[in-house]
Amino acid sequence: MKNILAFFLLCSVTVSAQKFEGLALTPPMGWNSWNTFKTDISDKLVREIADDMVNSGMKDAGYTYIVLDDGWMAKERNRNGDLVPDPKKFPNGLKPVIDYVHAKGLKFGLYNCAGTQTCAGYPGTRGYEYQDARFYASLEIDYLKYDWCNTEGITAKEAYSTMSKALKVAGRPVIFSLCEWGDNQPWNWAKNIGQLWRISGDIYHCFDCIFDHGTWKDWGVTYIIDMHKDIRQFAGPGHWNDFDMMEVGNGMTVGEDRAHFSMWSMLASPLIAGNDLRNMSAETKAILTNKEVIAINQDSLGVQAYLYSQKDSVDTWIKPLSGNDVAICFLNRSKNPFTVSYDFGQHPVTDSVSKMNINFNSSLYKIRDVWMKKEMGNTSKLWSASVQGHDVVLLHLTMAKPPVKK
Ligand code: GLA
């Protein structure tokens, strides 16, 4: 009887603990080719991006993964059914490029799709899951983004489960990034399958526009922020809501880029840069490498921010942090500046997800503006600041003294 029980216990453990554990205890950080380069990628590009990831200070700031998105393959599999890197883009195959990335102390990722073809028309994985997983393991990749085009007749949970199992069987620890755009509510079922799941269609490099392709749409930053209201409880260490690769440095204003980066940090989204690292402006670099903002994203508590209030043009977002710290982001959705006056005593932190409760009348906190990099007094006084149009003020609050016992 005991043996039978142990057997069933083992089976349930094996099935529920499918993905590689411990790989993304904080949101993954890296770079992905798609937003800037689409399928125009090459051996040379990857090497240059890896060099600049190191030289720009991005690696020091925490960016680790270089992910090649759609377009790295030849149009056909070989006669054994194996995927083939495009011989024009990667004349020596992928292994030397991946070795180069690894030698820089970085990690490497690839893209494929659960369907018969990728979104850009290259060979998809459907029916080749275990074979492709072995191919990735032989290349020693560390990350797989897995898309959802051309998937008629299959269900998302099963398809993503199969690939996750295949990766596990292949044996090389890989972050598994689900990209089915939130269509099948992966936050309800993907916790044990992958480390991150997209929650929206593709991002577009604008603050609050929609780019309509006719049969599908790309979404500006605020549309992605607003797309799903009630999924923050599904994010946490090892499993994240993915708000899509970033568009910082891809054409928005500096303030909009700052707002975008701040909100991705508050939302505990993976921070995957999508710009050309080889010619970043000083402003773009300063945004992407602001270590105090990144620390809010990478906080070990792993709690996604909640929307506390929306008043006039300004959202107030609150992110509970470890050590009873708190981040507060004032996001101005209007193009005009707005002066926020915030009486902390009137605005306690009460969070059902982290169970954090702070009453600023009995706990004094120090205020730091992480973009100005300046201390801004404490929570005992009315706090006031102008938030520029399409921009944020982002505060990190640290307890100044222990709570007063009543
Ligand atoms: C989909 C994904 C994008 C990108 C492209 C590649 O649209 O959502 O992030 O990977 O496919 O074709």
Taking only the tens place, the pLDDT of each residue in 116-159 is 999 999 999 999 999 999 999 999 999 999 999 999 999 999 99
Residues 67, 111 contacting (CB under 8 angstroms):
yes
C-alpha–C-alpha distance, residues 368 and 301, integer Å? 20
Claim to verify: residue 155 and residue 271 sit in the same structural domain: yes
Q: Residue 35 phi/psi, 5° resolution?
A: -55, -35
Claim to verify: residue 389 and residue 279 sit in the same structural domain: no
Give the active site residue among 69, 70, 132, 147.
147
Claim to verify: residue 159 and residue 275 sit in the same structural domain: yes
Q: Which protein residue's CA is at the shortest distance from atom 9 of ligand 1?
A: 202
Average pLDDT of the chain? Answer: 95
Token digits of residue 34:
């798609």
Claim to verify: residue 330 and residue 286 sit in the same structural domain: no
- pLDDT tens-digit readout, 333-392: 999 999 999 999 999 999 999 999 999 999 999 999 999 999 999 999 999 999 999 999
Give the active site residue among 132, 142, 202, 244.
202
Percent of the residues in the chain that have a pLDDT greater than 90, as a whole number: 94
Q: What is the whole-number distance in angstroms between the Cα of residue 244 and the centre of ligand 1?
A: 10
Claim to verify: residue 318 and residue 194 sit in the same structural domain: no
C-alpha–C-alpha distance, residues 49 and 124, integer Å? 26
Q: Is residue 2 part of a domain?
A: no
Q: Best of 39, 68, 70 to mutate for ligand 1, by most ligand atoms within 8 A of CB? A: 70
Q: Is the pLDDT of residue 36 over 60?
A: yes
Nearest to 129 by CA among 116, 119, 139, 142: 116
Backbone Cα Rg of the chain: 22
Residues with CB under 6 A from ligand 1: 34, 69-70, 111, 118-120, 147, 179, 202
Q: What is the whole-number distance in angstroms between the Cα of residue 121 and the centre of ligand 1?
A: 11
Q: Is residue 8 part of a domain?
A: no
Claim to verify: residue 188 and residue 262 sit in the same structural domain: yes
Residue 233, pLDDT score? 98
Claim to verify: residue 293 and residue 313 sit in the same structural domain: no
Token digits of residue 173:
């620890």
Atom of ligand 1 nearest to the CA of 198: 8
Claim to verify: residue 351 and residue 204 sit in the same structural domain: no
Would you give the end-to-end CA distance of the chain in angstroms? Answer: 55
Q: Which protein residue's CA is at the shortest distance from atom 8 of ligand 1?
A: 202
Claim to verify: residue 98 and residue 220 sit in the same structural domain: yes
Which residue among 297, 331, 362 closes a domain? 297
Q: Can 82 be counted among the known catalytic residues?
A: no
Mean pLDDT on 224-231: 96
CATH assignment at residue 317: 2.60.40.1180
Q: Is residue 6 part of a domain?
A: no
- pLDDT tens-digit readout, 171-185: 999 999 999 999 999
Instruction: Tell me the CB-side half-sphere exposure of residue 185, using CA atoms within 13 A.
Output: 8
Nearest to 398 by CA among 354, 364, 374: 364
Residue 13, pLDDT score? 44
In the block, tokens 């459907």 appear at 126
Which residue among 240, 274, 297 closes a domain? 297
Claim to verify: residue 293 and residue 311 sit in the same structural domain: no
Claim to verify: residue 261 and residue 344 sit in the same structural domain: no
Q: Is residue 192 part of a domain?
A: yes
Q: Is the pLDDT of residue 114 over 80?
A: yes
Q: Can 202 be counted among the known catalytic residues?
A: yes
- pLDDT tens-digit readout, 174-217: 999 999 999 999 999 999 999 999 999 999 999 999 999 999 99
Q: Is residue 4 part of a domain?
A: no
Report the number of distinct structural domains present in the chain. 2
Q: Is the pLDDT of residue 224 over 70?
A: yes
Nearest to 255 by CA among 331, 310, 339, 197: 331
pTM, rounded to two decimals: 0.95
CATH assignment at residue 251: 3.20.20.70
Claim to verify: residue 240 and residue 351 sit in the same structural domain: no
Q: Note down the domain range covering 357.
A: 306-399
